[in-house]
Structure 1
């Protein structure tokens, strides 16, 4: 419970201290990113402006902090899950209440472990490409072309969409800023391809090991066979889910410009 609370609360403070950015909250971060992005786009330079560098650096540290805490949480939950399932399998005699309690706790911890694994993967991905992971904060602003912050951002997003559309219809190289965006967006999805591939291999290993151990367990030990069979089937299903994620991200990484355009057209 302490680690779950730390995962929610601590990363913002840790990121502010390690990066020296000092954003008050996520709303302040988003507003700063919108202003910095508009300035970066208008500059036309590949190198991030100081304001944008400050936001991206904070976001990198934020994801690193979350990834570390989520990893520690995952280790704790896996260890706790092993203890709970062993205790459940070791319960003998007429102890239906204890068995039900251990089974329920085991299921809960298993679900939390899977959520922690997802958090680890997502935050490593965000740390690998923090600029791309910030893009959804731009939202779907529409404006009237005024000199207000929202109007400037709306004009900027219109220009981004137009340049992206133009880059898809011509063979010429995109402008430097757009090239950085496309490259970082591709890196963001390549990271997920690698991570989901590793996770898929782990799930395959768990499924094979569980089903082999189930086959070697005597027919009389029904409870052990049920638990091992459940883990084997669950891991196989999760392997399929992760494989779908892998293929989807591989497709995007191979041709990132169209999905990036879809993102700027409202697919946030």
Structure 2
């Protein structure tokens, strides 16, 4: 149990500090490792990209997109490893809880709840990095907003004008395609996870009918929590499916400053 806990802490630290280093290893992207550097570089390259009138990326934008692709891969792998460790830790903790009593059992119960919560966060991180990897350009777009000034303000105004007029240009076509891909992947991965959670719910309640005592209470708790989580995720799936099928309203709202 202690080894799993130490491994989980190490993976959490790695998840926070390692992706930027891994994504920039062997590439001339050192300035992209800081948030300010990444945002500033992407905003400048976006202005250049929009002004080019081309669908394909120039070398500068491609460098940023490639870095962000590698960054999401690194984060996704670390998040997946953390998820596996947290699930194993949670199972180990709850099994120990069932064998103990008193204050030790209370401490284990807290540990079980904490590991479950962190596992849910890790699952969300895995999903976020999957669609970030699938559509790295689309996942960079929120960085355009905040405190833009000068050329970026003008560029975003032109994007909004084209969207409002129903016009299409090669850069806007690329933006739309990656926006749709981003939300479509979110919908698909969400549907897969919902299906898995439904199966898990059935298995939990089947075991519940054969269990007794504290085991029964633990299974009942997860038997309620897991379907609630699946319902929340199902709402996300529906929202992203709708956005992918009808991207224009979402894009207009997005470039109006929403995400």
TM-score after normalising by structure 2? 0.94
Decide which structure has greater helix share.
Answer: 2
Query: Is residue 16 from structure 1 mapped to residue 24 from structure 2 by the alignment?
Result: yes
Q: Structure 2 CA distance, aligned partners of 1:10 and 1:21?
A: 15
Cα drift, residue 90 of structure 1: 2.3
SS in 2 for 1:267: coil
Q: Structure 1 CA distance, aligned partners of 2:137 and 2:158?
A: 19
Cα drift, residue 98 of structure 1: 1.2
Q: Structure 1 CA distance, aligned partners of 2:198 and 2:48?
A: 47
Q: Structure 2 CA distance, aligned partners of 1:140 and 1:32?
A: 14
Query: Is residue 43 from structure 1 mapped to residue 49 from structure 2 by the alignment?
Result: no
The structure with the larger Rg is 1
Structure 1 gap ranges (5+): 143-149
TM-score after normalising by structure 1? 0.90
Q: Structure 2 CA distance, aligned partners of 1:141 and 1:28?
A: 14
1:68-109 deviation per Cα after TM superposition (whole angstroms, max 9, x unaligned): 000000000000111011111122xxx311110111111100
Structure 2 gap ranges (5+): 1-8
Identify which of 97, 100, 105 aligns with 2:106.
Answer: 100
Q: 1:209 to 1:120 in 2, by over 3 A?
A: same
SS in 1 for 2:161: helix
SS in 2 for 1:46: coil
Instruction: Map 1:221-260 onto structure 2 (within 5 A).
Output: 221-260=212-251
Q: Structure 2 CA distance, aligned partners of 1:230 and 1:49?
A: 53
Q: Structure 1 CA distance, aligned partners of 2:85 and 2:146?
A: 39
Q: Structure 2 CA distance, aligned partners of 1:110 and 1:26?
A: 30
Q: Corresponding residue for 2:174?
A: 180
SS in 2 for 1:125: helix
CA contact (8 A) 1:19 1:61 kept: no
Instruction: Map 1:105-254 onto structure 2 (within 5 A).
Output: 105-141=111-147, 150-167=149-166, 174-217=168-211, 221-254=212-245
